[in-house]
A = this chain, B = another copy of it.
């Protein structure tokens, strides 16, 4: 039934290539099937103005798509002179999601910027960004601990994200572009490793969804995120 031939509860092939680029404190190429996002974590030893002198750190995120990461070429946001609403919405979501895993006191007055740049898009770029962004963040934190920039690990858990939706009347996990562009409902879920929700964003595209559909989607999301959390952990161990 699914264009890719997957079962409704099946993730795409997930791959993390840690250390994909050399300058960033943390970097990973995350792949959810054909969706490929380069996530880097950059550490700076200062904080935004509103936090100065409070002894706390900050996590922020930026998101971009290469102009031809998509089926048709999109105008470059840098040349159009501003980031679109979708971009801003996504980078706010990534930042919020990752901050939920961090003890800002333990981070000290440091800022970590997570850049998520989509090299190739095939649906689910924001969930891949959050999931890969957490890996980049973890790598940067490990480097900070190793260099004794911080004493205590500020990460108090793991965070991952996946999309779910209703496609041809059936709840499915991890939608690719072919599904995403035809789904009746599309939902992005962010959870931690305690099976609790950090963010739930569901949107009816075709028809409004009922509570039982919502429950079915959330259940699929939990199932998928569990696997993503394991794969994150394995990727971090093996690097």
Complex interface: stretch among A8-16, A81-89, A230-238: A81-89
Binary interface encoding of chain A residues 190-208 relative to chain B, with 1 for a CB under 8 A from any of its CBs, else 0 = 0110111111111110011
Q: Place the interface of chain A in its size category.
A: 35 or more
Would you call A24 an interface residue if the criterion is a C-beta within 8 Å of the partner chain's C-beta atoms? yes
Minimal beta-carbon separation of A60 from chain B (angstroms): 11
Residues of B within 8 A of A191 (CB): 208
Contact of A23 among B40, B120, B207, B218 (CB under 8 A): B120
Output the nearest chain B residue to A121 by Cβ-Cβ distance. B23
Question: Can you list the 3 inter-chain pairs with the closest CB atoms, starting with the nearest?
Answer: A196-B208, A85-B88, A77-B78
Some 29 contacts from A to B, beta carbons below 8 A apart, are A21-B68, A21-B69, A21-B119, A23-B121, A40-B67, A42-B68, A66-B115, A66-B117, A67-B113, A68-B115, A76-B115, A78-B82, A78-B83, A78-B87, A81-B81, A82-B82, A85-B85, A85-B91, A88-B88, A88-B89, A89-B92, A100-B208, A196-B204, A196-B209, A198-B203, A199-B204, A200-B202, A200-B214, A214-B218
* Residue positions of A touching B, CB distance < 8 A: 21-24, 27, 34, 36, 38, 40, 42, 44, 62, 64, 66-71, 73, 76-79, 81-89, 91-92, 96, 100, 113, 115, 117, 119-121, 187, 191-192, 194-204, 207-211, 214, 218
